[in-house]
Amino acid sequence: MKHLGLVILFLYSSLYAFASSIEFTEQEKAYIATNPIIRVCVNPTLAPFEFLTVEGKYQGIGAELLEHVAAKIPLNLEIIQTYSWKESLEKARNNDCDIVNFIPQTLEFNKWLLFSDPLFSDYNVLLTRSEHPYISDVHKLVDESLALGENSALYERLSHDFPNLTIFSVETPEDAIFLVLNKKIDMTIRSSTIMSYTIRKQGLLNLKIAAILEEYKNIFKIGIVGNNEILRDLLNKGIAALTANEREEIVNTYSPIVFDKKFDKKVWYFLITIFLSIVLILLWNYTLRKQVKKAIAINLVNQKIMVQQAKQAELGQLIGNISHQWREPLSNLSSINLMMIAFIEYNQKIDKDFLLTKFKEVENTLDFMSQTMQNFLEFYKPSTVQQYFTIYDAMQQTLSLVETNILAYKIAIEIQGDREAQVYGIKNEYMQVWLNLINNAIRAFQQSNVPTKVIHITIDKDVVKICDSAKGFISQSDLSKGIGLTMCSTILKKYDKKLTFKNSMEGVCVSIEPSSHEHHTPI
């Protein structure tokens, strides 16, 4: 065994010498020898940075950079298959992977991840429809709206830097682009690399880059799960060994359109103006009209593609949520099934009452799973139909969407008031508002250590009140502390309603009430 160990050590030493000129400590060599596989969680839909193909192959700028880094150390990578960024982060939190590739370093991620040195960086651009004028100064915009994907690292900073903009948080960055295309939102912010790739691949003729935000850089790193400093140091050595030619070759493979940050913007706009003038002069004839018709046809096709992509993203979210809610019921059914198999295999007598009880338990579990699917389908089903519906029933459907989290954090739900009260509007929009408020209450409980966790819901004809016992604090003037509250206010505004926040020693109460409602019930 001693000789075998020497042989293995010799082979690894030879491998280091062959793979690169990086110097490793004895501790780092031992780590590589005893950790043959490094599990990697990725964002499966962030093209061209990183994405998973239909066959499950990991591709993109971040994918190839990580492969180069791993080859220089060397490390063997195992890509963990997921269907959404949210699912990847959940697996990372559950220690189902060792690293999370191509992730921005935020205050929230700092709580549970170590970070490598920067792997890649670029800057953001403002994306608008083609008819929107170019933007010389974002601070001068008035009454303009901007959408960002949920969990965007820019949300808090932009809300602070640009109070003149109405900023919305949507499910995904693709949703934000879709809203811009359909004139629901004025603009969104994306990475210059992503937009160069997207416009080139999909030919989005109705979109343009209206401004370059050089002060808002995207810096992507490798997140290391746990407190694994050795793995972080190894990755940093691999990143440091990347050459400029290697980086440039990888980036140009996916995004050959590169903006020179040192190039003066006024000169850039001037050249664009000259170019467009020449094009208009040359094409101001019948051929131009034919090209315009062709462009319109292509644009319609691209819009259909965007709609399909949005539907696919929504479907992935739907499947992920249903899977999350079904996990415990499936486990329950499996345990009952295994119990019955054991009784039969060992010829054990099964009491009739016991058997009937288990069959009823199976039936109740199946009813719960069926109802869960129906609730999710109704919630994700797009609707523009306004109608009267019962607040209590819709609130129960909303609570079922997050029932797993409610049970996991041992939160009690108390509902009182008028169970027959109805409201007129789009049911899914009201459910979205309630869901955001309930999720904020759940997040407040995650960050507090209160012994008793209660969400108290009061239903009245004109007012719906949601209170928590988490001892948090949200002020009317600082909605950014609550996720999705700006969107909630926007939805309620069209129904002539508003959000009102009140704080006490127990927690926060959020009321949904008519805008003209002046009376505030003491808490």
In a domain, 242, yes or no: yes
For residues 310 and 184, what is the distance between their CA atoms, to the nearest angstrom? 15
Tell whether the torsion through CA atoms of 85, 87, 88 and 94 is positive or negative. positive
Conformation bin of residue 331: beta by default, left when phi > 0, alpha when psi is -120 to 50 = alpha
pLDDT at 92 over 90: yes
481 to 106, 264, 440: CA distances (angstroms): 15, 37, 9
Q: Show the tokens assigned to 308.
A: 């399909």
In a domain, 523, yes or no: no
pLDDT: which is higher, 323 or 336: 336
3-state secondary structure labels for all residues of 82-131 = CCCHHHHHHHHHCCCCCEEEEEECCHHHHCCEEECCCCEEEEEEEEEECC
Do 177 and 199 form a contact (C-beta atoms < 8 A)?
no
Edge to edge, what strands does the sheet with 50-52 contain?
45-46, 50-52, 58-59
AA identity, residue 310: A
Could you identify the residue written with the tokens 């007012």?
463
Q: Show the tokens assigned to 449.
A: 């250590």
- Pair 293, 339 in one domain: no
- 352-380 vs 427-446: helix axis angle to the nearest 10? 110
Give the side-chain half-sphere CA count within 13 A for 185: 27
- Pair 158, 100 in one domain: no
For the residues 24-46, what does the mean pLDDT come to? 92
pLDDT tens for each residue of 347-367 = 777 777 877 877 877 776 676
Final residue of a structural domain among 209, 230, 252:
252
Final residue of a structural domain among 315, 350, 380:
380
Give the side-chain half-sphere CA count within 13 A for 4: 1
Q: What percent of the chain has pLDDT over 90?
A: 22
Number of domains into which the chain is organized: 4
Which of 36-45, 340-349, 405-414 tops mean pLDDT?
36-45
The SS3 of residue 523 is: coil
Q: Which pLDDT belongs to residue 47? A: 82
- Pair 391, 489 in one domain: yes
For residues 502 and 467, what is the distance between their CA atoms, to the nearest angstrom? 9
pLDDT at 437 over 90: no
Q: Which pLDDT belongs to residue 273? A: 59
Neighbour-count burial of 156, counting CB atoms closer than 10 A to its CB (0-12 exposed, 13-18 middle, 19+ buried)? middle
Averaged pLDDT score across all residues of the chain = 77
Final residue of a structural domain among 241, 275, 305:
305
Q: Which pLDDT belongs to residue 478? A: 46
In a domain, 521, yes or no: no
In a domain, 104, yes or no: yes
In a domain, 522, yes or no: no
For the residues 301-312, what does the mean pLDDT come to? 53
Tell me which residue range forms the domain holding 125.
121-218+262-305
Helix (H) or strand (E) segment spanning residue 61: helix 61-72
Q: Show the tokens assigned to 21.
A: 């000129």
- Pair 133, 184 in one domain: yes
Q: Which of 511, 485, 484 minimizes the C-alpha distance to 500? A: 511
pLDDT tens for each residue of 438-496 = 888 888 888 788 888 999 999 987 899 999 988 765 544 444 455 567 767 877 888 88
In a domain, 31, yes or no: yes
In a domain, 75, yes or no: yes
- Pair 180, 269 in one domain: yes
CB under 8 A, 24+ apart: contacts of 91-95:
91/41, 92/41, 92/223, 92/225, 95/225, 95/226
Which of 260-274, 275-289, 389-403 tops mean pLDDT?
389-403
Strand partners, 503: 508
- Pair 231, 92 in one domain: yes
Q: Show the tokens assigned to 128.
A: 């608008």
- Pair 449, 403 in one domain: yes
- Pair 271, 334 in one domain: no
- Pair 49, 126 in one domain: no
Q: Which pLDDT belongs to residue 241? A: 92
- Pair 441, 320 in one domain: no
Do 514 and 466 form a contact (C-beta atoms < 8 A)?
no
For the residues 385-392, what does the mean pLDDT come to? 86
Strand partners, 388: 424
> The domain that contains 466 carries what CATH number?
3.30.565.10
Q: Which pLDDT belongs to residue 41? A: 96
In a domain, 240, yes or no: yes
The SS3 of residue 445 is: helix
Q: For the chain, what is the total number of helices (H) and then of strands (E)?
A: 17, 19
Which of 36-50, 155-169, 346-360, 395-409 tops mean pLDDT?
36-50
Neighbour-count burial of 30, counting CB atoms closer than 10 A to its CB (0-12 exposed, 13-18 middle, 19+ buried)? middle
- Pair 179, 270 in one domain: yes
291 to 202, 210, 273, 286, 302: CA distances (angstroms): 17, 24, 20, 9, 16
Could you identify the residue written with the tokens 């644009």?
299
Q: Which of 374, 116, 376, 135 minimizes the C-alpha distance to 220? A: 116
- Pair 505, 414 in one domain: yes
Instruction: Using alpha carbons only, give the angle 88, 91, 97 rounded to the nearest 5 degrees.
Output: 95
Do 389 and 453 form a contact (C-beta atoms < 8 A)?
no
> The domain that contains 62 carries what CATH number?
3.40.190.10
